[in-house]
Amino acid sequence: MSNKKYEQAVIVANGVINDPALTYKRVTDLFDPAVDCIIIGADGGAENALRMNLVPDIVIGDMDSIKAADKEKIRARSNKTGYISTSSYKDKSDAQLAVEYAFDLGIKKIIILGALGGRIDHSIANIFLLASPFLRNIDIRILTDTSEIVIMRKSGAITGDIGATVTLISLSPYTYFIKTEGLKYMLENEKLIFSPVRGISNIFTEKKAYIKIKKGILLVIKQL
């Protein structure tokens, strides 16, 4: 792999991508085409990358799920793909290894594809990965066929189509809301606790909604 400076990363995991063409379009809509982007395959996620016509710059993992045929396809399209093989006796998922690799490169914007579907434990781990303290200052999100998933640690805005659904879940024991604007079900000077969840299926009433929080870690799931 070259020593070029990357500012964006697409990490492709081994989960479900039902519509590769649509997912690829959504990624390109979110990224700046003028900025270099690295494609990282999380082990068997290399197959998902190829389905989107993406050739990984790096494939990382214990190599237990990448197929020999996919390695051949990658080799036929590029002789620059690097492979980082880890021990199968590891306590980190391949997706986490890929995120840490991007973080170590100094990348500030990361999108994870194929993070959900299949094994529920991997899906939950990938969602919770977004809340890792070391990613506090990174723009990182999961993009699926139907949703975009991000973490909010401070007040900010989220965008969406009017009438679209958005779910707000506290990942900390509670999240204290000062105020929300642009959502059908408003929150003001109140808490959402971790469980039971009661922030499901709110609705955008404006194309930009403002969420003002005083304390907490908020999981935002926006339906696309």
Q: Which amino acid is at 31?
A: F
pLDDT tier, 77 (very low <50, low <70, confident <90, very high otherwise): very high
CA dist., res. 141 & res. 35, Å (int): 18
Q: Which residues share a beta bridge with 84?
A: 60
* Average pLDDT for the chain: 95
CA dist., res. 182 & res. 191, Å (int): 18
Q: Please give the model's pTM, rounded to 2 decimal places.
A: 0.95
Mean pLDDT of the 53-57 span: 96
Task: Name which of 36, 28, 217 is nearest 135 in CA terms.
Answer: 217
pLDDT tens for residues 41-51?
Answer: 999 999 999 99
To the nearest whole percent, how much of the chain has pLDDT over 70? 99
Residue 40 pLDDT greater than 80, yes or no:
yes
Q: What domains lie within the chain, and their CATH numbers?
A: 8-145 (3.40.50.10240), 156-223 (no CATH)
Q: In what order do the strands lie in the sheet with 218-223?
A: 82-85, 58-61, 37-42, 8-12, 109-113, 139-143, 147-152, 218-223, 165-170, 202-203
